[in-house]
Each structure stands twice: as structure tokens, then as C-alpha cells.
Structure 1
């Protein structure tokens, strides 16, 4: 069976990445030898810029876990990260050529394997990239996989994704991923902080999400979240806030099937729709 690339959102540009390298599960060996000196320098500069922004904006759990990535002056080898990650939470990262379909993605997460794109953006894309690259995946996602509670939530999400696929509810569940794992905010003793990878790997959206008066920030409610559309080409106009990773894990313990059936008869919310169902918390 031929492995086909996945198109991101409504983009007409063919995804980059060599999908001929991928196996049936869409994983492939990390092609470390293919990285150039410029690639390593791009990673170093991205890491340096983003890590300097974290104090006062990123969650304490993320800041505490970031050193577990190891080296920061060049692209790390996945197997070296896995030596530490597996011992800590039983997770491992696996290389993929780019975005992958829902079922392989959910299957990997359900088996505590996180897919990481193994190519890096060009210097022209230093400030913004449409598709997730190795910096977004490693810097944004992997540190919190060292946190046991959050790591368990991601596995539970993968397991739930496989069930949602059988129920035709992947779009609703994808919004939960978007507004938690990618763009989630958490309330800590020091104030509002970011834990979502899409925020943490963006130099512009990190201060915007936490400090700007423009977006609305709502307490995380599963039904409201699953009814809220999102955009991939702008900063988010709505964020959902949790009190702890334990709260997030506990909220997703229920069987979602009755909720999916109920939500199909309800209207969706636009990405910027305000003042409905839940009051803004910030």
C-alpha cells in the first residue's frame, strides 16, 4: 500500500517530507545524516529565542521538563531523547515524514509513541511555518511527555481518537486536541500560563495568548470546546483554561459517545464567538 502525504487544512501546497521513507504505520528512521550545518543552526537559534521567552509565560511543568530534551545547540537524536523519556513515563518519540492520517496518529498515541516530523523549516520560515516541523514537535510537545499526568492524558486522547473514528466524531475530538495539547492554557499560582505546544513554540503567540486583552479565555468545558471551530493561519481568538493536568485527565475519563450524539444536533461556535455558554475567566 502506497503511503500518501496528508494535506494540512485547506492548503493546496503539497506537503513536504519524503513519504516514500515511511512504513505502513507512517513512521521512518530519523535521517540524522541529512541535516546540514544550516539546519542545526536554525534549530539552535529557534531554541535560544523561544526558551528566553518562557519565564512568566510558560507553565512551570513545561519549564521544569524542558532540560530533559538534552542538547540545545543542534538537532538532537531521537534515540538519545528516548533513553530518558522511556525511563520516565514509558513514552518514546518516533520519526514521521510529516503530517499523518488520523488512525495511524491515534494508534501511535494510544501506544505511547509520539510522532515527530524529522525535517526542519527553512530560514525564510523562521518566524512562521504552516506545517509542524521538528522544532515545533520537539520543543513544543515532547517536554510535557516527561510529566506523568500529562503523558497519560495524551495516551488517553489517542485511545479516545480510535473510538471517535469509529463513531464519525474525529472532527469534534480534534478540537479538544487543538485547544488543549496544541493551544491550552493553565491557571497556576503565578497566574495564567501556556502549556500547549502551538503556543510554546511560537515567539508571537506565546505573549499574545497569555497577556493580550484581545482573545477570550474560557474555562475548559468539553462540550463547548468540541463545538468551537478554529483557524490554522492566525493567532487563536479563543483559548480554554484548565486548573491542572489532573483536572484535564479526569475530565476525559468518561465515555464520549453520548456526548458526540448530543453535539451533532447543536450549532457550532465560530473561532471568535464570545459570551456563549461559559463566561470569560480573564
Structure 2
């Protein structure tokens, strides 16, 4: 029967992906035979470009984990990745036709299953694709699932997401995901580095997020991140910086329910705002 497509934000066209293939939990089989040689070439070129940009910009934890992703010259088979990933952290990746609703997304994460879109962008979208494709999901997200701390944090986020859904607080929690797993920075010995998938899979934002004087870089505070709006169509104007991956797991142990109640009464903060007393961190 399949599922209905999902739309986040404003769009002039329906979401890409064949949702008629989706099971009740929105997962589907990776249709590996459907990939063309042009698709494999797009993946190879994207991988080579991003890999070359990583030194001095990406978190060392990400650089160390990237080889575990496997094939660089063609789209990898999910079962090949899963053989390594399950042994490392007990996670597996599952194919989905595109964006999926919040509760099914949280449920998969809570069960250590990471949804990966199985289609790849067209050649003319090489530099920018509107929706996350297989390259963004595999290259940006999956390597750090081999890191035990991040693996535990993302599962805890999924569990917290299910609770947030019951409390009507998904928007507040989604900003934590955006400013950590998608667009997070970490301070390492060499300075600020990127660990967020949205940064790591972007050729332009990787250098911008780490080296540009334009954006605000702030120490990660949960309340500040939950109140801060974000950009979906430009580079971020604010990034939040952690001191260690363990800091994320420590945050996940917080009882968010009182925080949600407190923040419902607080105004949101513009994506480019710097509050009185705040000082941006140097790159």
C-alpha cells in the first residue's frame, strides 16, 4: 500500500522518492539494481570532493570513522555497511524513500536503526540538493554511528523524541538535533572542527562553519539551542560548539519535561541573533 510523502517547510513540488515502496514504519528495501553508472559516478565524485576537504576542518573522530563506511567509488550496499556497523555499535542503517514523519523517525532511532534515503541527487544538483539524499545520509551521518558515544546519543535522542511528541515539544527538540547532529561544531586541540552531517556533506559550508568570521559560534547550552531558529536555505548564522562528544550524552540524560514547560513561555531567538553578554568563540 505504501505511505504518503512527507513535507517539511515550504516546497513548490512534492517530495522526491517512491513512497509506495514504504512499509508501515516507512522503511523499504534498498533498490540497488536501480542505480545507474551515472548514479555511482555522482557518488564517487561527491565522496572524493568531500574527503579532500576534511583535513583541518572535520572532527578527528569523523575522520577516523570514515573508512568504516566502505566503498568510495560507488554507492555501497547497506548490508555491507551493516555487517561492520552492527559489530561496532549495534546500529544498522535502513532504507527509506525520503523524509519521514517525526514519530517513525524517533522510533527507528530509539531502536538503533538509522534511516537513509536510498536515492541520489541528479548531476545538475551536484553542489546543492534540496532534500537529504543518500550521499548526505551515508557520508554525513553514518561514520559517527561507529563512534560509541555518538551512537548512544542518537539512540537517546530518538527515545527523547518519542517523549517530546507526547508532550507536544517536537519543535523544541528538533532544534537540538539541528544544532548538534546536523550542524554541530566541536572544539579540539587544533581549534573548532565540524561533526554535524549537514556541514560535513557540504563543500561550501564545511570551510565556512569552521573558518569564516561571519557566523556566531557559541558554547552549546540546551536552552539557548532550543530557543534558536535556524536556516534551511542558507549557511547557518549561528553554530553551537561542544567541548567533547561525551557532552552530548550528558545532555541526553537531562529530564527535558521541565525545560519544555519553561521554554514554552520564552520567545524564540532569531537565527542570527547575539544576546547581551554573549561572546562568539574564535575559530
Check whether TM > 0.5: yes
Q: Give the Cα–Cα distance (whole angstroms) in 2 for the partners of residues 27 and 134 of structure 1.
A: 14
Q: Which runs of 5+ in 1 are unaligned?
A: none
Post-superposition offset of 1:107: 0.1
**Does the 8 Å contact 2:2/2:23 carry over to 1?**
no
Q: CA RMSD in A?
A: 0.9
Per-residue CA deviations over 1:48-101 (Å, capped at 9, x if unaligned) read: 000000000000000000000111000000000000000000000000000000
- Is the CA contact 1:8–1:15 (under 8 Å) kept in the aligned structure 2? no
Question: Partner of 1:73 in structure 2?
Answer: 73
Q: CA deviation at 1:275?
A: 3.1
Q: Structure 1 residue 237: deviation in Å?
A: 0.2
In structure 2, list runs of 5 or more residues that go unmatched: none
Residue 277 to residue 31, structure 1, CA distance change in 2 (3 Å): farther
Corresponding residue of 1:189: 189
* Structure-2 residue corresponding to 1:107: 107
Distance 1:195 1:175 in 2: 16
Say whether the 8 Å CA contact 1:224–1:277 is kept in structure 2. Answer: no
Q: Residue by residue, what CA displacement relative to the aligned partner does 1:223-281 show, whole Å, maximum 9, x if unpaired?
A: 00000001100000000000001011102201100000000001100111113464322
The correspondence of residues 199-238 of structure 1 with structure 2, limited to 5 A, is: 199-238=199-238
Match of 2:36 in 1: 36
- The 2-side partners of 1:123 and 1:5 are apart by 23
Whether 1:121 and 2:141 are equivalent positions in the alignment is: no
Give the match for residue 157 of structure 2: 157
Instruction: Classify the secondary structure of the residue corresponding to 2:93.
Output: strand
1:196-229, Cα deviation, whole Å (9 max, x unpaired): 0000000000000000000000000000000000
Match for residue 12 of structure 1? 12
Residue 20 to residue 185, structure 1, CA distance change in 2 (3 Å): same
CA distance in 1, matches of 2:37, 2:271: 40
Structure 2: how far apart are the matches of 1:250 and 1:279? 24
User: Does residue 180 of structure 1 match 2:165?
Assistant: no
In 2, are the aligned partners of 1:3 and 1:24 still within 8 Å (CA)? yes
Q: Which runs of 4+ in 1 moved over 4 A?
A: none
- Contact 1:186–1:192 (8 Å) recurs in 2: yes
Distance in 2 (alpha carbons) for counterparts of 1:277 and 1:255:
27
When the two structures are superposed, what TM-score results if normalisation uses the length of structure 2?
0.98
Residue pair 2:2, 2:21 contacting (<8 A) in 1 also: no
Q: TM-score, normalised by structure 1?
A: 0.99
| Residues 116 and 276 (structure 1), Cα distance of their counterparts in 2 relative to 1, 3 Å cut | farther
CA deviation profile, 1:99-125 (whole Å, cap 9, x unmatched): 000000000000000000000000010
Corresponding position of 1:62: 62
How far has the Cα of 1:2 moved from its partner? 5.1
Structure 1 stretch displaced more, 12-21 or 98-107: 12-21
2:98 maps to 1:98: yes
